[in-house]
Amino acid sequence: MMRHAWKAAALLLAAVIALCAWRAVGTVRALARAPAAGERTGLGSAADRVLSLPRDHPLGRIALPGRAVVFAYSPDCAVCHANMANWIDIASHARASGMRLIAAAPVQTEDARRYWEPLGESVDVILSDTAMLARVLGVGGTPATLLVHDGVVRRVYDGALTPAARRQVMGFVARGVLPDS
Amino acid sequence: MRTRSAHAVLAAPARPRLLVARLTGEQFAVLLLGLLAMAAVLGLRGMERLADARTRHFQALARQAAVSPLPYGALIPAAGRPRPEGVHAVVRADAVARADEEALCVLARHTAASRDVAWVALSGRGPACAMVAAPVRPAGASADSLRRLAGAARWWIVGADGRALYSRREVPRPAELRRLLDALKGADEETMPVLAP
């Protein structure tokens, strides 16, 4: 009886070792895939939010036909300041492609209005409020970048744009290509 | 009687003092397997933690690359805005990685005649082609505070009010620098000269 117990214990331990080896293979793959995981960071989420707003509401300008990129920002948000270079990059490319650029702030202050002054007339600034931005665009915080096509929000990037996310937004701006989900 | 008991004592096998020596072959094999299993579990845990850390490292690098070294609107110290007024770009001529020296020299050649591009050298070391483009070599407290603020920034665009509008860590291509300057100056692209990359 005791001999069988030892054999069972040996089998159990061998199974544990085999399980560890099997999981180690997956872990080695995860180690190898780590750089790719970095590449996917910040790629945003696919969305199909139809914007339904009366045309006379300021945010209704986002829903006009055609393609638009929306920058959700706050004038007192540090990450927005750090991300501004990405938005300026996008704006400088959009000048050639004729893409509509809209900056939407959840506050109606003078600082918010002046935030985009260096880019002159190339960005349409809309001052709204937090609840409205969250309800209409589904934006929970700033900064966020939204790709809009014919009044439908197709992609949302929360936070500062990573290099991979920037490439996707540039592709949308330059060629109208929506990133694959 | 006494002789038999003495014989019995002599015949009894000596009990080994070490526990391992008292184990049967099967027990010893199970002990080894147990140790091996424990090592495998601990090794796997270590590998999983390493994989998580490596993934987080690359994600952090991506997040770091997402943000500009100088925050938008930060007041640039006087040493970092050599042009007294107007929107202009400032490029660091020093502290460049060897791999980027050529790109910096190309940029120096293309911007030599640009009135809205200034070069600064915050330290004495840099490729000669770029250092000659940097007549402005600020020193003192303003240069120190610029060095602290700029950190890893290779170049930045300063607004008319002396505040940072744009900054990057990488050496820009001349056309890229010109495109961004034009966008921030609100200039008409068709009338502004676009330099070849």
| Those residues with Cβ within 8 angstroms of residue A56's Cβ, 6 or more apart along the chain or in another chain | none
Task: List the 82-141 stretch of B: residues with Cβ below 8 A of A.
Answer: 87
Q: Determine the Cα–Cα distance for residues B169 and B65; give it in Å rounded to an integer.
A: 9
Size of interface A-B (CB pairs under 8 A): 146
Q: Determine the Cα–Cα distance for residues A87 and A90; give it in Å rounded to an integer.
A: 5
Could you tell me if B158 and B164 are in contact, meaning their C-beta atoms sit under 8 angstroms apart?
yes
- Which of B161, B188, B194 lies closest to B83, judged by CA? B161
**A7-16, A164-173, B142-151, B165-174: lowest mean pLDDT where?**
B142-151
Given an 8 Å threshold on Cβ–Cβ distance, is B72 in contact with A162?
A: no
Q: Determine the Cα–Cα distance for residues B136 and A132; give it in Å rounded to an integer.
A: 49
Beta bridge partners of B155: B91, B168
- Which of A43, A78, A7 lies closest to A166, judged by CA? A43
- What is the model's pTM? 0.80
Q: What is the mean pLDDT of residues B45-74?
A: 92
**Chain A nearest-CA residue for B34:** A13
pLDDT of residue B4: 54
**A29-33, A163-167, B81-85: lowest mean pLDDT where?**
B81-85
**DSSP class per residue in A109-124:** -HHHHHTTGGGGGGSE
Q: Amino acid letter at B88? A: H
What pLDDT digit, counting tens, does each position of A98-139 carry?
A: 789 999 999 999 999 999 998 878 899 999 888 888 888 888
**DSSP class per residue in A24-92:** HHHHHHHHHHHHHHHHHTT--EEEEEE----TTSGGGGGGSSSEEEEEE--TT-HHHHHHHHHHHHHHH
Nearest CB among B41, B66, B179 relative to A92 is that of B179
Q: Determine the Cα–Cα distance for residues A67 and A69; give it in Å rounded to an integer.
A: 7
Instruction: Identify the residue with better confidence: A16 or B23.
Output: A16
At A76, is the pLDDT very low, low, confident or very high (cuts 50, 70, 90)? very high
Q: What is the mean pLDDT of residues B131-151?
A: 75
> Touching check for B32 and chain A: CB below 8 Å?
no
- Torsion from C-alpha of B162, B166, B169, B171, nearest 10 degrees: -100
Q: Determine the Cα–Cα distance for residues A89 and B188; give it in Å rounded to an integer.
A: 16
Q: For residue B195, what is the DSSP state? A: -
- What's the angle, vertex CA A84, arms to CA A82 and CA A88, rounded to 5? 150
Residue B194 predicted with pLDDT over 60: no
- What number of other Cβ atoms are within 10 A of residue B46's Cβ? 11
> Touching check for B175 and chain A: CB below 8 Å?
no
Can you say how many angstroms the Cα of residue B133 is from the centroid of all Cα atoms in its chain? 27
Residue B197 predicted with pLDDT over 50: no
Q: For residue B30, what is the DSSP state? A: H
Residue A25 predicted with pLDDT over 60: yes
**Chain A nearest-CA residue for B27:** A6
The per-residue pLDDT of chain B, averaged, comes to 82
What pLDDT digit, counting tens, does each position of A53-74 carry?
A: 766 778 888 888 889 999 999 9
Nearest CB among A20, A92, A160 relative to B41 is that of A20
What pLDDT digit, counting tens, does each position of B23-33 carry?
A: 888 888 999 99
**Chain A nearest-CA residue for B166:** A85
At B188, is the pLDDT very low, low, confident or very high (cuts 50, 70, 90)? very low
- What number of other Cβ atoms are within 10 A of residue A106's Cβ? 20
Q: Which residues in B64-142 belong to E strands, given as ranges?
A: 88-92, 117-120
